[in-house]
Structure 1
Amino acid sequence: MAFAPALDALIDAFRVLPGVGQKTAQRMAFHLLQSERQGGQRLAQALGEALERVGHCRQCRMFAEDDICDICRSSRRDARVLCVVESPADVLAVEQNTDFRGRYFVLMGHLSPIDGIGPEELGLDQLRERLRDGEVKELILATGATVEGDATASYIGDLAARHGASATRIAHGVPVGGELEYVDAGTLAQAFSGRRQL
C-alpha cells in the first residue's frame, strides 16, 4: 500500500537507525503522527540542533560542541594514560562503570579491510602524532572482543611500541555474576588464557 509521500519519506528516514526495519519505522512514524506530534516537533528540533552543533573533539575524536571536549580540557585527567575505544558509547560505558581518570581516543570503528576501513579512517595518523609527542605513556586498548577488535588492538599495540609507550588490553572473560555452564566457549577460553595470580 502506498502512503502519502511525506509519510513514506518519514518511514524511510527512520530506517537509517540501526536495527530499525520497515515495520518498526512504520510504527514509529504512525505513533508520532497519531499521538505525539509535539514530541515529534521536539525530536525534529533536537535532531536538527545536534546535527548542526555537534562535531568531534580535535584531540580524542569524541562528540563535542567545542574544538576540545570537557574530558580533554580537564586538568584533573591524566594525559599520560589514553584509553582507546571504538565508539562514543564505549566512552560513556567506561565513564559510568569505572574509576578511569585518564583520557580517551575514539576510533569511530575498527579495522575492517573488507569494508574499506583502514588506519586512516580510524584516525590512527592522529594517534601516531599524540604518541610521537611523548606525553602518552600507556595506551589501554578497550576495543571489542571480536576478530576486528583484536586486530585493531594488535595494530595499535605495535604502533605504541614503536613510539615507546606501553600498551595494555582490557581483560575478557566470565562476566561478574556469570555461571560457567552458561558462558560460551570463546569467552571461557579467553578467561582461562587471561587468568592471573591471586
Structure 2
Amino acid sequence: MKTFPQSVQKLIEHFSKLPGVGPKSASRMAFHVLNMPKESALDFADTIREMKENVQFCNQCFHLAEGPLCSICQDAERDDKIMMVVEDVLDLIAFESTGEFGGRYHVLGGVISPVNGIGPEELNIFSLFKRLKDSGVVQELIVATNPTLEGEATAMYIKQELVDLGNISITRIARGVPTGADLDYADRSTLAKALSGRIQL
C-alpha cells in the first residue's frame, strides 16, 4: 500500500537526496511545501528552475555567476594584486562574509585526492596558473584550502608548480581553523584571524 500520493513521494525522495537530510526531515520539508499557498509553492519551483537555467560558473574565477563573469570579477574596486585560492564556492562566501578580504578569488572546485581519482586535471588548477602568468600584477597568492590532508597536499602542489614565479609571494591561512574542518563551517572571527595570521608557504 502506498503511504503517500506519487507526487508527494517523489518530492520526499528529491529532498532526501540533499546533504544531511534524512527520510523524516525530507517528509517534513515536503509537507511544508504541500501546505504552502499555491502561489508560494509555484514561485519556489520557478526559482529552482531559473537558478538551474541562469546560474553558471564564472569564466575567470569559477564563482557562481549569471553571465560570463561574476560580480566579484566585475568589481573594479577589488585589489588585483592579491588573490585567494579556495576549494569551493561555499569557502569563497565564508571568507567574503568576514569583510576582511578585498582581493580576487579563484575556486578550485575541489582538492587533489588520488584515492578518489581526482588529480589536477579534474580541478581548476591549470587555469589558476595561466591566470597568474597572464595577469602579471598578482603579488600575493593566499592558499586557503581546508586543513585536511588533501587540502595540504593541494596547497603544496600549487606552491611547487609556481616556484618559477618568484615575484609572487605564496602564503597559507593560519592554523586557527581546526585540522580536518571545513572552512565554510567556521565562524567569521575564526576566518578573519586565520586570514590576518597567514604565513609564508
Deviates more, 1:27-36 or 1:58-67: 27-36
Residue 20 to residue 56, structure 1, CA distance change in 2 (3 Å): same
Task: Please give the alpha-carbon distance, in whole angstroms, between the structure 2 residues aligned to 1:21 and 1:51.
Answer: 24
Provide the TM-score with structure 2 as the length reference: 0.80
1:171 aligns with 2:187: no
Q: Which residue number in structure 2 is paired with residue 178 of structure 1? A: none
CA shift digits 1:17-67 (9 cap, x unpaired): 111122211111122113454432222111110110000111100000110
Q: Which residue number in structure 2 is paired with residue 149 of structure 1? A: 151
Of all paired residues, the percent bearing the same amino acid is: 47
Secondary structure of the residue aligned to 1:162 is coil
Amino acid at match of 2:175: H
In the TM superposition, what is the alpha-carbon distance from 1:99 to its structure 2 partner?
2.2
Amino acid at match of 2:102: R
Q: Which residue number in structure 1 is paired with residue 113 of structure 2? A: 112
Q: Which residue number in structure 2 is paired with residue 96 of structure 1? A: 97
Coordinate RMSD, CA, aligned: 2.3
Q: Which residue number in structure 1 is paired with residue 125 of structure 2? A: 124
Provide the TM-score with structure 1 as the length reference: 0.81
Task: Please give the alpha-carbon distance, in whole angstroms, between the structure 2 residues aligned to 1:92 and 1:52.
Answer: 22
Residues 55 and 65, structure 2, Cα contact 8 Å, conserved in 1: yes
Residue 195 to residue 67, structure 1, CA distance change in 2 (3 Å): closer
Residues 171 and 198, structure 2, Cα contact 8 Å, conserved in 1: no
Where in structure 1 do 4 or more consecutive aligned residues deviate above 4 Å? none
Give the count of matched residue pairs.
Answer: 179
Residues 85 and 143, structure 1, Cα contact 8 Å, conserved in 2: yes
**Could you list the runs of 5+ residues in structure 1 that have no partner in the other structure?**
176-190
Residue 157 to residue 20, structure 1, CA distance change in 2 (3 Å): same
Task: Please give the alpha-carbon distance, in whole angstroms, between the structure 2 residues aligned to 1:35 and 1:66.
Answer: 32
